[in-house]
Amino acid sequence: MYYNHSVYFISTAKKNWAASRDDCLERDADLVVINSREEQEFVSRQAGYHWFWIGLSDRDTEGVWKWVDGTIMTSSFWRRGQPDDYGGGEDCVATSLGDDWNDKPCADLLRWICEKVLVLDHLEAELNKEVMREEAPQIYDLPSSMMLSVGNTASFSCRAWGRPQPTIQWLLDGRLLETDGTDNRSASVVRMDGENLNLRGVRSGVETVLCMATNSAGTANHTAWLVVYDRRPDGWRYYDHSLYYISAAKKNWTASRDDCLERDADLAVINSREEQEFVSRQLGSYWTWIGLSDGDTEGTWKWVDGTIMTSSFWLSNQPNDAGRGQDCVATGWNAWNDLPCGEQHRWICEKV
């Protein structure tokens, strides 16, 4: 920000006083030197209700307050009762809106304000230089993975900020999409408009769609998945690279698993809190078999893919193996319960 022949940088990170000053020096500036009530009020407005380091300390000689440019403090805007050198270790100064100055331990982590004093003849050039400070891209609107059937259109968007403004490029399965027009994939047409990508007439399979944001300061990228099926099977739902089938009928655990296997799937294996919550949203309040049991070894819970359970989402006081015959697991009300494998319940299949 510009004020009265100086430009000021207001940090959003927090560092100690020395590290804050180092940051200013790297910007060809220094911690702010406040020479007037008007400048103090300007700085205070920028600080808001956060404490910010300024370029004043008595680190060299206790009680002798000196600015970072070597001058002795003459005008001061201390908060009432300050400086008090509380605890004998407050040697650096911070300011905040409405609070003026306060001496604090130099090791405290606070935001900071840099100042670069400008010569009027070069003001425009310096301001332009500050404006053009480079910042590496960051993607803030991420393309999302999706699943659809053959022949439909897949639409992705990707937006990024940085300095200078990044350019957006798209890669499909690692191959850069150069221009608008017909892609070399069969019956597929690519349309790009910078931040937007449309794939028309998509073919069957799984592909990676990568958004790449680039400027002179660096590159950022984000990958999404495109899952395309010849025909989406009736009753299947998509989540995070898997298809899920929720039964309407009821069977015992073994018969439920057999049904999943006939569908080229298996009872659901739940690997995360997010997947558990997704599954629960599909099920409502019905107990529903999942692919977990301790039928081989009592107390050793194993998934149908052969892996040992690591994360768990048991109902309170479960598993309890009531009656010594509860070896299979169902989920309901967003939690698990061990139940007799012979009970009749709905089930959920998963196809990765």
Give the chain's domain count: 3
Q: Which residue segment(s) compose the domain that 78 sits in? A: 2-131
Percent of the chain having pLDDT more than 70? 88
- Is pLDDT above 50 for 92? yes
* Residue in 81, 53, 83, 56 with CA at minimum distance from that of residue 67: 56
How does 64-98 read in b/e, with b if 16+ C-beta sit within 10 Å? ebbbbeeeebeeebbeeebbeeeeeebbbbbbbbe
- Give tens-digit pLDDT for 107-136: 999 999 999 987 655 555 555 555 556 788
Q: Is there a single domain that holds both residue 305 and residue 343?
A: yes
| Residue 235 is assigned to a structural domain of this protein | no
Q: Is 280 left (phi over 0), alpha (psi -120 to 50) or beta?
A: alpha
182 CB burial (10 A radius; 0-12, 13-18, 19+): exposed
Give dist(CA 152, CA 150) in Å, integer: 6
The CA–CA distances, whole Å, from 230 to 48, 50, 203, 205 equal 58, 57, 8, 9
Q: Do 42 and 15 share a structural domain?
A: yes
Instruction: Tell me what the pLDDT averaged over the chain comes to.
Output: 85
Domain end residue (candidates: 107, 131, 155): 131
- Asked which of 73, 104, 131 is the last residue of a domain, the reply is 131
Long-range contacts of 179-183 (CB under 8 A, 24+ apart): none
Residues 192 and 223 in one domain: yes
144 shares a domain with 118: no
Which whole number is the average pLDDT over 201-224? 85
Please work out, in degrees rounded to the nearest 5, the angle formed at the alpha carbon of residue 291 by the alpha carbons of 289 and 296.
115
Backbone conformation region of residue 140, classed left if phi is above 0, alpha if psi is from -120 to 50, else beta: alpha
pLDDT above 90 covers a percentage of the chain that reads 36
Task: For strands 135-141 and 92-96, give the pairing.
Answer: unpaired
Are 199 and 288 contained in the same domain? no
The tokens describing 246, both together, are: 């929720």
Asked whether residue 124 is domain-assigned, the answer is: yes
- End-to-end CA distance of the chain: give it in Å, rounded: 53
Asked whether residue 249 is domain-assigned, the answer is yes
Tokens 């939690």 found at: 335
C-beta separation of 208 from 173 below 8 A: yes
- Indicate the range of 230-234, 243-247, 290-294 predicted with least confidence: 230-234
Establish if 61 belongs to a structural domain: yes
Write the DSSP symbol of residue 322. Answer: G
As given in the structure block, the two tokens for residue 247 are: 């039964």
Helix (H, G, I), strand (E, B) or coil at 186: coil
Whether residue 178 sits in one domain with residue 246: no
- Identify the domain boundary among 78, 111, 131: 131
Residue 275 has pLDDT above 60, yes or no: yes
**Tens of pLDDT along 286-318?**
899 999 999 899 889 999 999 999 889 999 889
In angstroms, the Cα distances linking 223 to 182, 196, 207, 220 are 22, 14, 10, 11
b/e sequence 219-245, b meaning 16+ C-beta within 10 Å: ebebebebbbbeebeeebbebeebbbb
Residue 237 lies in a domain: no
Whether residue 217 sits in one domain with residue 190? yes
At residue 97 the predicted structure's pLDDT band, cuts being 50, 70 and 90, is: low
What CATH number does the domain containing 51 carry? 3.10.100.10
Q: Evaluate whether 337 touches 315 at the Cβ level (below 8 Å).
A: yes
CA distance 156 to 265: 29
